[in-house]
């Protein structure tokens, strides 16, 4: 049975009444809202790809990828090629990368995995993003035993210089620093407690951008973060702290060019204040920064088990969010954190309590288009043209 809460999640505004035929026939939901009596559906649109629809409005659409999926799953790889204009390695450009780490030891680099993704992009004329040069997670085991206050700056500069120079001229943009803000850590300016902050102080962020700019003057340099989308005290605090950080960096003349808004949405979150979100984007843009939606997906762990209902709610979350975000001309790209439910980090990191497979992305696990695809396509079609 669909609850009023479920129906609300369809992003239908304030409900005045819900008449539901059956949870199996969601398309029969006729929701009377204050603004319109039209039912909300997500009809399939023309056959053009999301990349083409985005490009028609001067935007890029892309997806995160993992090297082993591109190599082992040619059907999936074909969909990446057909659907995207840009890709970003989900893992291979972090300091530590599983069986084939980018940083095997304190003094060595192994570009094998990341080069494979870069070659895939080049072979298929896809733009490439780099993620991420400075983060507090996915650091190799040797890091905590080796890096300290005396040598941290040297390790930071050497890593950024070596990695960014290796891809100089081939990288559309770099997430130079990732997730440096966490107001709940209680530090000044809402900075997150990280090894980098501990060893170098707040200037680590400036140092990172300066090193990246020197290594590749062509790449767009991005500060990337999450937890900024909703009308909650936690997100309010984070938006305020992120904005202050961006203002500080710009005032200091730091070579930062863009803000990356990860956008891991929660399909069950009802506190989406479109006005507040739009104002935040305008405030970031007013600093002269471009904006990228860098890791878009919709967590569905708390949504109905009924796939028909769940897919509608996920699609509504995509469309409601993108309609606001794409209204900001400074937004230049939208990347989902994966393209298909077949491969999503959420299966491991945000599994459903009922154990059902999660369905956060535009393609289902069989690589068929979902309502989320249609919702994204419609949002791109309705977006103002960047010219």
- Interacting residue ranges for ligand G3I, rule: CB under 6 A: 66, 90-91, 94, 98-99, 137-138, 178, 226, 262, 295, 345, 349
What is the C-alpha separation between 119 and 139, in angstroms, rounded?
25
Catalytic status, residue 295:
yes
Q: State the nearest-atom distance from the C-beta of 223 to ligand G3I, in Å.
A: 13
Exposure pattern of 19-51 as b/e (b: 16+ CB <10 Å)?
Answer: ebeebeebeebebebeeeeeebebeebeeebbb
What is the C-alpha separation between 238 and 295, in angstroms, rounded?
17
Q: For residue 373, which of 54, 142, 128, 107 has the smallest C-alpha distance?
A: 54
User: What residues does 258 pair with on adjacent strands?
Assistant: 222, 290
Q: State the nearest-atom distance from the C-beta of 34 to ligand G3I, in Å.
A: 36
Q: For residue 337, which of 346, 328, 329 has the smallest C-alpha distance?
A: 346
- Residue 252 or 349: which CB sits closer to ligand G3I? 349
- Residue 51 or 296: which CB sits closer to ligand G3I? 296
- Residue 178 or 304: which CB sits closer to ligand G3I? 178
- Report whether 212 contacts 166 (CB < 8 A): no
How many CB atoms sit inside 10 A of residue 120's CB?
Answer: 20
Q: State the nearest-atom distance from the C-beta of 10 to ligand G3I, in Å.
A: 26
- Residue 11 or 227: which CB sits closer to ligand G3I? 227
| Cα–Cα distances in angstroms (integers) from residue 219 to residues 95, 127, 145, 250, in the given order | 19, 12, 32, 17
% helix, strand, coil for the chain, step of 5 = 40, 20, 40
Q: State the nearest-atom distance from the C-beta of 89 to ligand G3I, in Å.
A: 10
What is the C-alpha separation between 387 and 374, in angstroms, rounded?
23
Q: For residue 136, which of 200, 222, 230, 64 has the smallest C-alpha distance?
A: 200
Question: Tokens 């973060």 map to which residue?
Answer: 225
Q: For residue 296, which of 62, 44, 47 has the smallest C-alpha distance?
A: 62
- Residue 131 or 370: which CB sits closer to ligand G3I? 131
**Which one is catalytic: 179, 182, 229, 328?**
179
- Residue 45 or 139: which CB sits closer to ligand G3I? 139
Q: State the nearest-atom distance from the C-beta of 113 to ligand G3I, in Å.
A: 8
- Residue 109 or 278: which CB sits closer to ligand G3I? 109
**Which one is catalytic: 90, 92, 229, 295?**
295
Ranked by CB distance to ligand G3I, the top (closest) residue is 98
Q: State the nearest-atom distance from the C-beta of 264 to ligand G3I, in Å.
A: 7
Q: State the nearest-atom distance from the C-beta of 67 to ligand G3I, in Å.
A: 8
**169 CB burial (10 A radius; 0-12, 13-18, 19+):** exposed
Contacts of 220 (CB under 8 A, 6+ apart): 172, 173, 174, 257, 258, 290
DSSP sequence for 83-104: H-SEEEESSTTSS--TTS-S-S
What is the C-alpha separation between 119 and 173, in angstroms, rounded?
16
Catalytic residue positions, numbered: 179, 295
């Amino acid at each position: 049975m669909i609850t009023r809460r479920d129906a609300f999640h369809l992003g239908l505004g304030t409900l005045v009444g819900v008449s539901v035929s059956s949870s199996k026939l969601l398309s029969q939901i006729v929701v009377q809202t204050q603004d319109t009596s039209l039912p909300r559906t997500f009809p399939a649109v023309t056959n053009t790809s999301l990349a083409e629809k985005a490009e028609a409005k001067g935007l890029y659409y892309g997806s995160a990828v993992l090297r082993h999926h591109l190599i082992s799953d040619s059907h999936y790889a074909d969909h990446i090629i057909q659907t995207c204009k840009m890709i970003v390695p989900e893992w291979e450009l972090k300091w530590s990368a599983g069986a084939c780490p980018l940083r095997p030891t304190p003094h060595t680099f192994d570009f094998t995995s990341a080069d494979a993704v870069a070659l895939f992009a080049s072979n298929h004329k896809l733009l490439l993003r780099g993620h991420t040069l400075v983060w507090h997670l996915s650091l190799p085991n040797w890091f905590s035993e080796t890096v300290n206050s005396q040598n941290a700056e040297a390790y930071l500069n050497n890593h950024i210089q070596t990695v960014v120079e290796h891809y100089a001229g081939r990288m559309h943009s770099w997430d130079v620093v990732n997730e440096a803000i966490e107001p709940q850590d209680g530090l000044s300016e809402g900075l997150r407690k990280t090894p980098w902050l501990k060893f170098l102080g707040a200037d680590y962020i400036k140092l990172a951008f300066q090193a990246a700019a020197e290594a590749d003057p062509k790449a767009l340099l991005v500060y990337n973060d999450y937890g900024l989308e909703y009308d909650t005290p936690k997100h309010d605090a984070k938006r305020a702290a992120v904005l202050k950080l961006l203002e500080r960096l710009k005032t200091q003349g730091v070579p930062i060019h863009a803000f990356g808004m990860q956008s891991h949405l929660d399909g069950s979150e009802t506190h989406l204040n479109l006005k507040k979100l739009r104002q935040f984007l305008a405030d970031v843009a007013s600093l002269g920064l471009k904006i990228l939606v860098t890791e878009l997906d919709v967590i569905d762990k708390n949504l109905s088990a009924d796939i028909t209902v769940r897919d509608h709610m996920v699609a509504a979350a995509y469309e409601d969010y993108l309609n606001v975000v794409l209204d900001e001309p400074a937004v230049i790209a939208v990347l989902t954190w994966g393209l298909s439910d077949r491969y999503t980090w959420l299966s491991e990191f945000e599994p459903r309590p009922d154990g059902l497979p999660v369905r956060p992305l535009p393609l289902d696990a069989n690589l068929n288009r979902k309502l989320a695809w249609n919702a994204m396509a419609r949002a791109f079609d309705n977006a103002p043209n960047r010219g």
